[in-house]
A and B are shown apart, each in its own frame.
Chain A
Amino acid sequence: MEFTLLPLAILFTSLGIVPLLFALPERSARLRTTINLTAAAIKVGLVAWLSWRVSQGTIYGVGFEVLPGLAFKLQADPLAILFIALSSILWLITTIYSVGYLEKGPHRARFFGFFSLCVAATVGIAMAGNLFTFLLFYELLTIATYPLVIHRGTAEALRAGRIYLIYTLAGGLVLLVGTLWLWVMAGGTDFAAGGMMADIAAASPVQATMLFVVLIAGLGVKAALVPFHAWLPIAMVAPAPVSALLHAVAVVKAGAFGIMRVVYEVFGINVAVDLGVTLPLAIAAGITIIYGSLRALTQDDIKKRLAYSTVSQVSYITLGVALANPIAAIGALAHLIHQGLMKITMFMAAGNLAEGLGVKTVSGMNGVGRRMPGTMLAFTLAALAMIGLPPLAGFVSKWYLASGGLDAGQGWVIALLLGSSLLNAAYFLPMLHRAWFVDAGDASAARPVGRRIGWMLSAPPLVTAALVLIAGGLANAPFSPLEWTRFIVAIEYRE
């Protein structure tokens, strides 16, 4: 049985309000907030219903032909649900945070319009039923995020935006060529468990390998795989909620999610292993993990440190996919969610520090724990989870990745994860130490330099931090991210 309405409705909750948000006058802040929050809440409800129905075995899909033989196709498979659930919940939370953050700021109509468009693109990426549709939304995401990155409109923001645009559009172009090539070579671009490249890979392995490289390179830009990562720290010039969403859900995740789709559902994990492309991908991910962490060590700017940490953490997902092992795959998929929760917490906390105390650097963090206990509590929880402290979310993903590595006979993964965790500790613990245990020292730091932090800014990071705790502590409960990923991996590895 096929149902078409629900996926479209979910896409529409964020896409449909875009024209409305653009058209609203700047001063109608209350109405804008109402529209935003209503849409976001409806979407969470719809997604909850969708996940329930899909877990009961209902199939949702919709499609129509756009170019000869090529369809615009949405489908809500379990993998898609994983990503939509993340994006819809975090959209709701980030919207609340943004409303508080941008209070009385300029160009809010534009901001929320593109913000919704960005979420719509993410939903499209999640539900894309073929690589062609994925590409459409992948490009839409670039267009939608660019105005958000340069939202401040300063010369520095514009320069950063230019670099961001060059990287992401070039990546999109490479992905376009890859998609086209796949279409010409295989006569289809559909995502299906087990992939569709078996015959081609057997007949012309060289071409199939090249195709893999082209596709991964196109996706690797957004996933910030080294050496395509340089845009990410530069894009830190964006306002805090944008950075939060970009890092947790939208851009980097779109890349990682695309890599997942390509490996599992275009090539098929067995075909990819036979081609011998998974190990190089795992090594590239490993290099990125270490490189990102090393660079994070030396950043004094809080947001830059977090950005390099993202470079490193997102590659856990790629690593888990590339290890070609079901246990590691569970770790990768769970990390897609876990990293989102942890990183969004940290970025919102960093935003609060900058707005409330004017603290933007690690060296300026002395004593902030006492001045902003709630925010720093959330930050601390997320940081400890990143390091991998049980029973927090990050521990669960690392555990599965490590056991998957062992199971796949790739012992080096253990060393890699240990090294990465040590580096995580090395760049996060000093921040926590300064925040909680070092005195602010001079009296000037004690008086507030920023604005008052209302509940709209202080509550969201606490909520996501609580989710970090729950996702880790109740990892075995039904409908936890971990349980859902087991469901997906059972499908992908059924072949």
Chain B
Amino acid sequence: MTEIVSLDWLALTVFVPLLGAVLSFLVPRIAPQIGLMTLALAGLCVTMLALQVIPGGPVIVALGGWGAPLGLDLRADGLAIIMLGMNVLVGGFVSLGALDTFSARHAGEESARMRRYFWPLWLLLLCGLNGAYLSTDIFNLYVMIEVIALAAIGLTVLTGRLDAMRAGLEYMFASMLGALLFLMAVGLAYLQAGRLDFAGLAVHAGEPAMMLAFALMLVGLALKTALFPLHFWLPNAHASASAPASALLSGLVLKASLYILLRFWVEIFGPGERIGMLVGAMGTGAIIWGSVQALRTQRLKLLVAWSTVAQIGLICVAFALAGTIGAQTAWQGAVLLMVAHAVAKAAMFLAAGRIAQETGHDRIADLDRSHLRPTLAQFAFALAAISLIGLPPSAGFAGKWLLMEGAMRAGAWIWVVVAMAGTLFSVAYLSRPLIGFLRFDRAPDPVGEHHGWAIADAPPLMLAVIAVISGLVAVQIIGVISIGAPFGAVP
């Protein structure tokens, strides 16, 4: 009996969004309603699944009765639950934000097209993301990666503007190359091991062919997750998309490839310290380069996009600590940082979108408390910045604390310094728009009464508030992450 129940919620987590995508494509008139309903149902699925996993441990389902080594095992452990929760939480609020962005109020052909295609693409994306977090074999993962890429590219070019098309093309090339490398690795691994499931592959870890396969996967996933120096496609793609699309791309899409890399690292390959150092060094490069660019850019959305490059780099520092006594703590920190970044960055992109909508521009130099000031959106942006910088009590603080604690336990002070540098950099570039929000000496009109806020400010504000206070439940989140011991047994 329990098995039947478990099958339902686990599989439904993937199939409900797929169904929603098809329906919203077929009946575009009520696509927003379908979208919200799908999110609500997906949220229900994840909640039910969590209620099974949290007391009872990991749940495994063999789709169509095809178990490992051949088939389609889906598995939900605590880590997967957290990532799924992140999907529906961030996705839910972004959907609410999208209601306004793509509402029929905005006339025009462009707006109509965006309304038509946003919901199918986003729900398809959700299907791929949920599937990726539940997959236990690498071919299945490849399929999910392609689904994600397809939907994500569609979301990038949704506005149909020239810069978006150009950025989307670049994104597509990077994404296809990444997928190709991944597919080659899948073939290589299958030839070597004769199996595709994580457990079966792990037996062969360390063999030369497997190491080659891992190298291919590492490059492919680094491309998709935009890890420096393979980040070239990200800033333009994320900055040119519409605000809800950017929020999804930056908040959720990047996390999938990062998560897959993390799973492979821990559960299959265990590639050793030197490669860990390499990824850590790439992360350091990302922090520096992403921050420098964020300091230089003149556009708010580009600043937010470059900050993503830097933040991804910070999360990747955890890979450098794999295999040390601080590894467990550092992985937990990395997962918390992933979730924190998803929530805060989605809030920030939505807020940036609202600011641009109200003021009519997104030039950092011209941001001030003009009579048009979108107070609540600016407030949400500031709260999101607090989490991204890692100030308490945000989830970003908790994640950074654990990451640095892991580094310190391992005696690897260099990574403590890197994390500190990342923090200082983030203060420097995020304070650029924040300071603008507070200045009013240039405003031509007297600034008095609050106005310039709308109900559309609620989604970014709610996300930002969640980002700031969720650090207070970090210990509970970590408790969930540890279910099924995704990072090995507690030493």
Contacts and interface: CB of A to CB of B under 8 A. Distances in A.
Contact of B475 (A66, A135, A142, A180): A66
Contacts of B208: none
Interface in B300-327: none
Contact of A135 (B392, B416, B420): B392
Contact of B474 (A67, A140, A150, A162): A67
Interface stretch (A165-173, A374-382, A402-410): A165-173
A386 to B, nearest CB: 34
Contacts of A172: 391
A26 B398 contact: no
B423 interface: yes
B166 interface: no
Contacts of A170: 424
Contacts of B439: 150, 153-155, 158
Interface in B428-477: 431, 435, 438-441, 446-450, 471-472, 474-475
A72 interface: yes
Interface stretch (B120-128, B341-349, B404-412): B404-412
A225 to B, nearest CB: 21
Nearest to B379: A22
B438 A67 contact: no
A412 to B, nearest CB: 37
B438 A184 contact: no
A147 B378 CA distance: 14
Contacts of A399: none
A26 B451 CA distance: 11
B7 interface: no
A27 interface: yes
B19 interface: no
A230 to B, nearest CB: 17
Contacts of A68: 475, 478
Contacts of B471: 66
Contacts of A26: 448-450
Interface in A127-181: 135-136, 139-140, 142-143, 147, 150, 153-155, 158, 161-162, 165-166, 169-170, 172-173, 176-177, 180-181
B475 A143 contact: no
Contact of A72 (B402, B447, B472): B472
A276 interface: no
A158 B398 CA distance: 30
Interface residues of A, number: 37
B233 interface: no
Nearest to A172: B391
B448 A106 contact: yes
Contacts of B423: 173
B296 to A, nearest CB: 17
A140 B405 contact: no
A140 B438 CA distance: 18
Given A68-B475, A139-B391, A169-B427, A184 B449 contact: no
A268 B296 CA distance: 47
Contact of A162 (B391, B408, B435, B441): B435
Nearest to B398: A67
A189 B419 CA distance: 22
B271 interface: no
Nearest to B446: A106
Interface string B381-411: 0000010000111000010011011001100
Contact of A153 (B398, B404, B440): B440
A65 interface: yes
A454 interface: no
Given A26-B450, A135-B392, A184-B409, A66 B398 contact: yes
B391 A143 contact: yes
B405 A183 contact: yes
Q: Which of B424, B427, B450 has the largest number of chain A CB atoms within 10 A?
A: B450
B231 interface: no
B398 A165 contact: no
A155 B416 CA distance: 35
A184 B391 CA distance: 20
Interface in A193-245: none
Given A67-B474, A140-B392, A184-B405, A177 B448 contact: no
A57 interface: no
A332 interface: no
A256 interface: no
A156 to B, nearest CB: 9
Interface string A21-34: 00001110000000
A181 B478 contact: no
Contact of B435 (A106, A161, A184): A161
Contacts of A139: 391-392
Contact of A66 (B393, B404, B431): B393
A1 B411 CA distance: 41
A109 interface: yes
B386 A143 contact: yes
B115 interface: no
A25 B323 CA distance: 55
A161 B386 CA distance: 17
A147 B431 CA distance: 12
Contacts of B424: 169-170, 173
A183 B441 CA distance: 45
Given A136-B393, A169-B427, A170-B424, A67 B401 contact: yes
A25 B386 CA distance: 25
Given A139-B391, A143-B386, A153-B438, A65 B431 contact: no
B116 interface: no
Nearest to B449: A26
Contacts of A72: 472
B47 to A, nearest CB: 24
B369 interface: yes
Contacts of A180: 401, 404-405, 408
A184 B416 CA distance: 13
A67 B475 contact: yes
Contacts of A153: 369, 438-441
Interface of B: 369, 386, 391-393, 398, 401-402, 404-405, 408-409, 416, 420, 423-424, 427, 431, 435, 438-441, 446-450, 471-472, 474-475, 478
Given A67-B478, A109-B450, A162-B435, 16 more contacts: A67-B475, A72-B472, A106-B440, A139-B391, A140-B392, A150-B438, A153-B439, A153-B441, A161-B438, A162-B431, A169-B424, A173-B424, A176-B401, A177-B420, A180-B405, A180-B408
27 contacts: A27-B449, A66-B398, A66-B472, A66-B474, A67-B398, A67-B402, A67-B478, A68-B475, A68-B478, A106-B447, A106-B448, A107-B440, A140-B392, A142-B391, A153-B438, A154-B441, A155-B441, A161-B438, A162-B431, A162-B435, A165-B427, A169-B424, A172-B391, A176-B401, A176-B404, A184-B408, A184-B409
- Closest 6 CB pairs between A and B? A136-B392, A153-B440, A184-B408, A154-B441, A65-B475, A139-B391
Interface of A: 25-27, 65-68, 72, 106-107, 109, 135-136, 139-140, 142-143, 147, 150, 153-155, 158, 161-162, 165-166, 169-170, 172-173, 176-177, 180-181, 183-184
